[in-house]
A and B are shown apart, each in its own frame.
Chain A
Amino acid sequence: MTATTLDPGDTNAGETTAPVGLPRLLRDTATALDDHIAQHGPLPRSAAGVLIDEVDAAGLRGRGGASFPTATKLRAVAAGRRAVVVANGCEGEPASTKDALLLTRAPHLVLDGLALAAMAVRARQAIVATERVRGDVMDALARAISERAARGIDPVPVRLVGVPPRYLAGEESALVHFLDNGEAKPTNVPPRPFERGVHGRPTLVQNVETLAQIALIARHGAEWFRTLGTESEPGSALFTVSGGVATPGVYEAAFNTRVTALLDAAGGTPAPLSAVLVGGYFGAWVAASRLDGVRLGNESLRDVGAALGCGVVVAMPASVCGLREAARVTRYLAEESAGQCGPCVHGLAAVAAAMDALARGRHDRHTTHLLGRWTGQIAGRGACRHPDGAVRFVRSALEVFADEIAWHEQGRCSATETTRLLPVPSSAVRDGQWR
Chain B
Amino acid sequence: MHLRLDPITCDGHGVCAELFPERIELDDWGYPIVDASPIPERMLADARRAVFACPVLALKLVEEELAVTARPTGSRR
Contact = CB atoms under 8 A, between A and B. Distances in A.
Interface size for chain B: under 10, 10 to 19, 20 to 34, or 35 or more residues? 10 to 19
Interface stretch (B15-23, B37-45, B47-55, B66-74): B66-74
B63 interface: no
Contacts of B70: 380-382
A376 B25 CA distance: 14
A373 interface: yes
Nearest to A385: B70
B7 A346 contact: no
A187 B74 contact: no
A344 B30 CA distance: 12
A381 B31 contact: yes
Interface size for chain A: under 10, 10 to 19, 20 to 34, or 35 or more residues? 20 to 34
A373 B31 contact: no
B73 A379 contact: yes
Chain A binding surface, main DSSP class: helix
A377 B7 contact: no
Interface stretch (A113-121, A231-239, A335-343): A335-343
Contacts of B10: 341-342
A383 B8 CA distance: 6
B64 to A, nearest CB: 11
Contact of B7 (A340, A350, A373, A374): A340
Given A373-B75, A375-B74, A377-B74, A382 B29 contact: no
Interface centre among B11, B66, B70 (most CB of A within 10 A): B70
Contacts of A322: none
A377 B12 contact: no
Contact of A376 (B8, B31, B66, B73): B73
Contacts of B75: 373, 376-377
A381 B7 contact: yes
Contacts of A188: 6-8
B33 interface: yes
A270 B75 CA distance: 42
Given A376-B73, A380-B71, A343 B29 contact: yes
A190 interface: yes
B24 to A, nearest CB: 12
A115 B60 CA distance: 41
A341 B27 CA distance: 13
A379 B74 contact: yes
Contacts of B11: 342
Given A379-B74, A381-B27, A381-B72, 12 more contacts: A188-B8, A342-B11, A342-B30, A346-B29, A346-B31, A350-B29, A373-B74, A376-B73, A377-B74, A380-B70, A380-B72, A383-B7
Interface of A: 187-188, 190, 340-344, 346-347, 350, 372-383
19 contacts: A190-B66, A340-B8, A341-B8, A342-B7, A342-B29, A343-B27, A344-B7, A376-B74, A377-B28, A377-B72, A377-B74, A378-B27, A379-B74, A380-B72, A381-B7, A381-B27, A381-B70, A382-B70, A383-B8
